[in-house]
Amino acid sequence: MTMTPLVILITGASRGIGLACAEHLAARGHRVFGGSRTGGEHAAFTLSRLDVRDEDSVREWVANALEQAGRIDVLINNAGISLAGAVEEASAEDAWALFDTNLFGVIRATNAVLPHMRVDGGGRIINISSLAGRVGVPYLGLYAASKHALEGYSATLRYEVRRFGVYVSLVEPGDIHTGITGTPTSNPQTAYDGERERVNAVHDANMRDAPPPQRVAYVVERIINARRPRLRYTVTHGGERLVPLALRILPDSWLEALARRIYRLER
């Protein structure tokens, strides 16, 4: 795409990665429409109320942007939540709330935007996944599952909509320094005490040393400006940089042994 101002929609734009993307792209001259449950105001872009778990809210948000701007060039599906705890400690309701935001929220926003992109002859859909969409992560298992689902959805959607000029890409950040916190799971089990806390301490330390969300905004801008964006873009630092290569060349048993050491798992 060229440097002409684009109309860009970003879910979850009130803070963290979504806010960094919105501010960065607005500063580049693009017309940005952000949304989040709390909404709010921002001098550089339009920030309105949006709940990606609510179909009507998503439709209204998209219709409002279309009414004001006349078209949509880019959709950035960024809104996401996390869930912290062992997989067994999560209820089906916990899992549902997580998937309803991280996967079904993406489906709702994408379905609302795609008909317009198809008619207009193209666009970009950028889904904010995670390195946890490529590997299992102890005590963030359902979050990893939701991002794995997002990966499968996005890779398939990319096959189907490219002939309409729509490119689908995934951004896979490792740890990024934002305020995201995992909601605790509903059914704590004493069997996981000790190890859960040790692993959470590793997650917390990784988060403290993580790069700022602007790193993701630069990658998103690269995708928007690329003539033919790739399917996957990672945003990593430190040892995380080895993950994509390790996934390609190491057998699963080696990856598992490595992760067990990194997270200090008991066996």
Ligand X SMILES: NC(=O)c1ccc[n+]([C@@H]2O[C@H](COP(=O)([O-])OP(=O)(O)OC[C@H]3O[C@@H](n4cnc5c(N)ncnc54)[C@H](OP(=O)(O)O)[C@@H]3O)[C@@H](O)[C@H]2O)c1
Q: Residue 137 interacts with ligand X (CB under 6 A)?
A: no
| 119 vs 240 by CB, closer to ligand X | 240
**Within a 13 Å sphere around the CA of 144, how many CA atoms are in the beta-carbon half?**
15
Q: Residue 112 interacts with ligand X (CB under 6 A)?
A: no
| 44 vs 257 by CB, closer to ligand X | 44
Q: How far is CA 144 from the centre of its chain?
A: 11
233: annotated active-site residue = no
129: annotated active-site residue = yes
Residues 227-243, buried b or exposed e (16+ Cβ, 10 A)?
eebeebbbbbeeebeeb
Binds ligand X (CB under 6 A): choice among 6, 9, 10, 18: 18
Q: Residue 59 interacts with ligand X (CB under 6 A)?
A: no
| 55 vs 165 by CB, closer to ligand X | 55
Q: Residue 154 interacts with ligand X (CB under 6 A)?
A: no
For residue 225, the surrounding DSSP H or E stretch is helix 214-225
Distances (CA, A) of 198 to 138, 144, 186: 11, 19, 19
Q: How far is the CB of 192 from ligand X (least distance, A)?
A: 22
Binds ligand X (CB under 6 A): choice among 37, 42, 59, 198: 37
14: annotated active-site residue = yes
CA angle 208, 44, 48 (to 5 degrees): 85
Q: What is the CA radius of gyration of the chain?
A: 19
Q: How far is the CB of 207 from ligand X (least distance, A)?
A: 6
Residues designated catalytic:
14, 129, 143, 147
